[in-house]
Structure 1
Amino acid sequence: MPQPLAYRMRPQKIEDVIGQQHLVGPGKIISRMVQAKMLSSMILYGPPGTGKTSIASAIAGSTKYAFRKLNAATDSKKDLQIVAEEAKMSGTVILLLDEIHRLDKTKQDFLLPHLESGRIVLIGATTENPYININPAIRSRTQIFEVHPLTPDDIRTAINRSLTDKQNGLGDENIQLDDDAETFLTTATNGDLRSALNGLELAAKSTPADDDIIHLTLPIIEECVQKKAFSHDKDGDAHYDVISAFQKSIRGSDTDAALHYLARLVTAGDMQSIARRLMVIAYEDIGLANPPACSRVVNAVYAAEHLGLPEGRIPLADAVIELCLSSKSNSGMAAIDAAMSDVAKGRGGDIPAHLKDAHYAGAAKLGHGVDYKYPHSFPNDWVKQQYLPDPIKNAQYYEPKQNGKFETALGEQYTRLRKAQGH
């Protein structure tokens, strides 16, 4: 049985990777690693079909290192030993370890010394958040890179490559793909290139030729992708427009508009985009004005993901209605962005000596932690002392808003504390 189209079209060098240009584009981190042949182990995390395996195979192809692929859940320690022996015999081996979040301690303990020696360059792939689901011992020895859903233009590029490539793609077939069918294919899979190519190949292989032309229409592609087109435009931007309108409607407190856009996303079966966007909205747009609402959104998303659709639409609708009608505040996002701006500009300075770590021999001789005042030893568990470095000791990042009782109270306390500190 021939390999699927998505497998056959995997890039053989880094320049051919579609999407993820923040990692593999000219001058970007993975591209630089490949160019210098200074590879470090890494974890790629993001949704299915976004190019994690493609990046790994392209790195191997560009560097000419041996490439092996294992699954952390199903392959054994013995399989890892075989890879390690190969690395000892022939030099560096790039190991793509799928589902790395399911790596058990026995396999992890075996891998660690090989990662440290550099004989095995590990590329872990996962759809789970590595900061939560991957053991710190592995995490500390890898760089973590997030991959994003591909854009419609990315998927269109991959489709065109597949239709013209005679060696690995469908170039030997005389395929006519209608414009609206192509546009649908670029948006309906929500950035999952594997699903898009699987749908395209199924359509091409299951549609009889007419006068030697395989004519692929929108209904054929819809059937093969198994998602109905609820809206799309000639530029293929409809999916992202819906998500944008969804967030802006909630931010603008228009409950009915938000429910309409939620309905579009539910109809498309796009649970992933709904879940991610709702949690972003909760903390970006409602935030400190109503923290309990943020917690309830997380619970609603959890319930919806476990219920699945169509039942999952109910907790999602409840969450959307509450977010629309809640007080709004983006002060938390604005505060961290302001602090990160200072860090990016190099504004900071040495950490005050009394705040430095004092839990080691010799710390006192350096003056570290010596003059630290333990707040719990003072009345009201607070004492005046400097926390920010000298160059920015008066910096203010948080600008309280008064759009809800919770943040109003926080703002009053924040103002009192800054005044007590002498700001």
Structure 2
Amino acid sequence: MIHPNIPLAERMRPHNLDQYYGQKHLVGPDGILRRYIEGGVIPSMILWGPPGVGKTTLANIIANQMKVPFVALSAINSGVKDIRDVIDQAKKRQGTVLFIDEIHRFNKSQQDALLGAVEKGIVTLVGATTENPSFEVISALLSRCQVYILKHLSKDELIELVDKALEQDEWMRHRNVKVQEYEALLTISGGDARKLLNLLEIVAEGVQNVDEVIVTNELVKQVAQQNIVMYDKSGEMHYDLVSAMIKSIRGSDPNAAVYWLARMIEGGEDPKFIARRLLISASEDIGLANSNALLMATSCFQAVQMIGYPEAQIILSQCTVYLATSPKSNASYMAIKNARQMVQQTGNLPVPLHIRNAPTKLMKEIGYGNNYKYAHDYEGNFVQQEFMPDGLNNTTFYEPGNNARENDMRKQLQSQWGKKYRY
């Protein structure tokens, strides 16, 4: 069977509410949008949510089930003239729904062009945005629209979506695709249903000359990984030398570090390249054990840019010796490494409501900032509260290193947080 040109996500796009996945709070049996759609009258609205949760699909379903004229514009390539053309046509027919994808990309004049038609009911506006409409949609237009928040699909909903594609899509059935492990598919797609289905299809396409495609985590990672640019072998020594210098700094050997520095200088290495690597080392290998190391390396980089060789060699040597003889800690480096691994495992967990920013009325009404404790209102400018998303409560990424500065930090954290920081 010839592979269809239409992507799997588009082939699986729902055409009615019963086929739609997720957003039960809006389109479930008691959902407000279901009641509007089934009643045949909808208000102008802004659909706000992350990519791949069904904003465009929901707009299409509204048009299909209400059987009204439907016009779609993309804010990326549409202007005021396009908006006015749609409005002129809408005046000649009843009930036009105007869908604007990525409405946050419209500037003020483009959004202003919509105001009169929306207010008079000439068009019913359905805008889709991944950005906070409080910031990206002008207040006059926002006041004329209902804002509905679409949420990430749950793990079970995404798995069900994959299984449905395997069962219903003709090409996937022809390829006899079976999913043995879902974790890599879900993690790499980041909860985006469109990416999830298209990734599944890419994986299935990548396996050739088999009667059955078995999708595993390892297979998904192999197919989906980005190509790594390899250095030209003629430049291998270039990276070996700087690696030797950095490892000597990490090992607190200033003599070896300066030797490898001299080798690079004699070889005509770009001083800015060396200075950049010193900057990285100052943070990765020394970090909070000596915060002045990063300041030294930053000053070194700036000075090298200003004066160049031959004098730059003195500055590079000074910085190299300083870093090599500094106390060492990779605690900050390990903290972000461990945190990123957790993000890759758990995906985009929502920010707890009490620590979300709430500068607008809309955001306050939906609970942003509720019960947040302002640290400066408490003794010692500290009060215990949870800042992690649900599921990661009390997770520790940063473990202070064994040096004077971080030992003090460890004591401070333990006195503030108690058991949470019992290293």
AA at the equivalent of 1:218: N
> How far does the alpha carbon of each residue in 1:204-242 deviate from its partner, in whole angstroms, 9 at most, with x for none?
1221141x2223222122234449xxxxxxxxxxxxxxx
Structure 1 counterpart of 2:186, which letter?
A: T
What's the RMSD between the two structures over aligned residues? 3.9
For 1:369-384, list aligned pairs within 5 A: none
Match of 1:33 among 33, 36, 58: 36
In the alignment, the residues of structure 2 paired with residue 324 and residue 44 of structure 1 have an alpha-carbon distance, to the nearest angstrom, of: 42
Instruction: Check 1:170–1:280 CA distance in 2 against 1; reply closer, same or farther (3 A cut).
Output: farther
Task: Sort the Cα spacing of 1:74 and 1:326 in 2 relative to 1 into closer, same or farther, 3 A.
Answer: farther
CA contact (8 A) 2:73 2:100 kept: yes
Where do residues 70-81 of structure 1 align in structure 2 (5 Å cutoff)? Answer: 70-81=73-84
Q: Which residue of 1 aligns with 2:214?
A: 215
Output aligned runs, 1:319-358, within 5 Å.
none
Do 2:187 and 2:345's aligned partners in 1 also have CA atoms closer than 8 Å?
no
Closer, same or farther: CA 207–284 of 1 in aligned 2, 3 Å? farther
Deviation string, structure 1 residues 100-133 (Cα, Å, up to 9, x no partner): 1222233222211221232322111111111222
How far apart are 1:145 and its partner, in Å? Answer: 0.9
Among 40, 43, 46, the alignment partner of 1:43 is 46
Matches within 5 A, 1:24-423: 24-166=27-169, 170-178=172-180, 180=181, 182-210=182-210, 212-226=211-225, 262-267=339-344, 270=347, 272-273=348-349, 276=351, 280=355, 287-290=373-376
Runs of at least 5 residues in structure 2 that lack an aligned partner in the other structure:
227-331, 358-368, 388-396, 399-405, 418-423
Report the Cα distance in structure 1 between the residues aligned to 2:140 and 2:415, rounded to whole angstroms: 41
Aligned to 1:251: none
Match in the other structure for 2:326: none
| Percent of aligned pairs sharing the same letter | 32
Give the whole-Å Cα distance in 1 for the aligned partners of 2:60 and 2:151: 18
CA distance in 2, matches of 1:149, 1:203: 23
How far apart in 2 are the matches of 1:13 and 1:99? 22
- The code of the aligned residue for 1:289 comes to A
Q: Label 1:286 to 1:77 Cα distance change in 2 as closer, same or farther (>3 A).
A: closer
Letter in 2 for 1:204: A
User: 2-side partners of 1:221 and 1:154: how far apart?
Assistant: 20
Matches of 1:25 and 1:7 in 2, distance apart?
A: 23
Shift of residue 99, structure 1, vs aligned partner: 1.7
2: CA distance, partners of 1:285 / 1:260: 31
> Is the CA contact (8 Å cut-off) linking 1:46 and 1:146 kept in structure 2?
yes
* Cα offset, 1:42, TM superposition: 0.7
TM-score (normalised: structure 2):
0.56
Contact in 2 for aligned 1:188/1:268 (Cα 8 Å): no
CA contact (8 A) 1:70 1:98 kept: yes
Q: Is the 8 A contact 1:207 1:216 kept in 2?
A: no
Q: Who is 1:384 aligned against?
A: none
In 2, are the aligned partners of 1:87 and 1:119 still within 8 Å (CA)? Answer: yes
- Give a deviation string over 1:42-71, Cα, whole Å, max 9, x none: 111111111111111111121122332212
User: In the TM superposition, what is the alpha-carbon distance from 1:135 to its structure 2 partner?
Assistant: 0.6
Q: Report the Cα offset of residue 154 of structure 1.
A: 0.9
CA contact (8 A) 2:48 2:130 kept: yes
Contact 1:209 1:215 in 2 (8 A): no
Q: State the Cα distance separating 1:95 from its structure 2 match.
A: 2.0
**C-alpha deviations, 1:140-176, integer Å up to 9, x for none?**
0100011111111111121112112236x63343112
Select which of 8, 20, 24 maps to 1:21: 24
**Given the superposition, is the C-alpha separation of residues 86 and 323 from structure 1 closer, same or farther in structure 2, using an over 3 Å criterion?**
farther
- The answer to whether the Cα contact below 8 Å between 2:12 and 2:169 also exists between their aligned partners in 1 is no
Q: Secondary structure at the match of 2:172?
A: coil
Q: Structure 2 CA distance, aligned partners of 1:216 and 1:264? A: 22
The structure-2 alpha-carbon separation of the partners of 1:325 and 1:49, relative to structure 1 and needing over 3 Å to count, comes to farther
* Distance (Å, rounded) in 2 between the aligned partners of 1:287 and 1:220: 46
Contact 1:95 1:122 (8 Å CA) reproduced? yes
Counterpart-to-counterpart distance in 1, 2:172 and 2:337 = 39
Q: In the aligned structure 1, how far is the partner of 2:48 from the partner of 2:175?
A: 35
Alpha-carbon distance, 1:27 to partner: 1.9
- Matched-pair contact (CA < 8 Å) for 1:14–1:24: yes
Structure 2: how far apart are the matches of 1:11 and 1:176?
22
Task: Report the number of matched residues.
Answer: 273
Identify the residue that residue 420 of structure 1 maps to in structure 2. none
User: For the pair shown, which has the larger CA radius of gyration, 1 or 2?
Assistant: 2
Contact kept? 2:354, 2:372, Cα under 8 Å: no
Cα distance change, pair 166–127 in 1 and its aligned pair in 2 (3 A): closer
Flag the 1:163–1:326 CA change in 2: closer, same or farther, 3 A: farther
CA 1:120–1:32 in 2, change beyond 3 Å: closer, same or farther? same
Pair 85,10 (structure 1): closer, same or farther in 2 beyond 3 Å: farther
When residues 110 and 284 of structure 1 are mapped into structure 2, their CA distance, relative to the original with a 3 A threshold, is closer
